[in-house]
């Protein structure tokens, strides 16, 4: 169980985390293994105090969400940005608090996830990875170009920070009631 912290403290922790990420995130673009989904998800968990011995599992859980962002169906549907997937996963953790999510809360979680995606799309114009970063990252040659053009540094870091902040804003009441 996580030690409860005050509502003011948890909001300050989100502010401090987002500020720190302005420095932490840009250099990660040099590593082709950087996962925007894992970074979004695990940094929220860190703010909540959930980054102990299981952090590798949380990271590994979220990494495939970034890869799913490069999925394109035969009908043209494109996978969401990993920040969207990671942010939505974080909403689920926050909404459940420090116990399994109650069934009666599930529709509210669905609604918050949809609202999150709507806000993300409103801010950046799209939800799909390819549309917002400009590359289909499922192709190795595109990953090389993505790194070369510093797309992570110029675009994706902003998506991570926005996703973390929106997860916080959409769950403000739950953060206060279930985490403080």
**C-beta separation of 116 from 170 below 8 A:** yes
What does the DSSP assignment read for 85-116?
HHHHHHHHHHHHTTSPPPGGGHHHHHHHHHHH
What is the value of pTM for the model shown?
Answer: 0.93
Average pLDDT of the segment spanning 144-157: 93
Contacts of 143-147 with C-beta under 8 Å, sequence gap 24+, read: 143/32, 147/29, 147/30, 147/32
Looking at residue 1, its pLDDT comes to 52
Tell me what pLDDT residue 138 has: 83
> Of 10-14, 54-58, 92-96, 97-101, which range is least confident?
54-58
Annotated domain spans of the chain: 7-19+33-179
- Residue 2 has a pLDDT of 63
Describe the crossing of helices 106-124 and 82-96 by its angle, rounded to 10 degrees.
Answer: 150
pLDDT at 33: 83
Residue 65's nearest CA partner among 48, 45, 90, 47 is 90
- The C-alpha atoms of residue 67 and residue 38 are separated, in whole angstroms, by 11
Rg of the chain over Cα atoms, rounded to whole angstroms, equals 16
Q: pLDDT (tens digit, 9 = 90+) per residue, 36-78? A: 999 999 999 999 998 765 688 998 999 999 989 888 889 988 8
pLDDT of residue 158: 97
């Amino acid at each position: 169980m996580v030690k409860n912290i005050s509502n003011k403290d948890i909001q300050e922790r989100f502010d401090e985390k987002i500020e720190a990420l302005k420095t932490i995130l840009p250099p990660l673009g040099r590593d082709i293994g950087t996962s925007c989904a894992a970074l979004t998800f695990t940094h929220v968990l860190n703010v909540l105090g959930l980054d102990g011995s299981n952090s590798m599992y949380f990271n590994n859980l979220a990494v495939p969400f970034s890869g799913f962002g490069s999925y394109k169906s035969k009908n043209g549907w494109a996978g969401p940005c990993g920040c969207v997937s990671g942010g939505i996963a974080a909403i689920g953790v926050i909404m459940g608090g420090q116990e399994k999510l109650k069934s009666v809360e599930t529709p509210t979680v669905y609604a918050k996830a949809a609202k999150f995606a709507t806000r993300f799309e409103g801010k950046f114009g799209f939800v799909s990875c390819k549309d917002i970063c400009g590359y289909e990252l499922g192709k190795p040659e595109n990953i090389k170009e993505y790194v070369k053009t510093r797309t992570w540094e110029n675009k994706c870091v902003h998506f991570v920070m926005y996703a973390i902040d929106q997860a916080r804003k959409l769950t403000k009441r739950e953060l206060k009631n279930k985490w403080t």
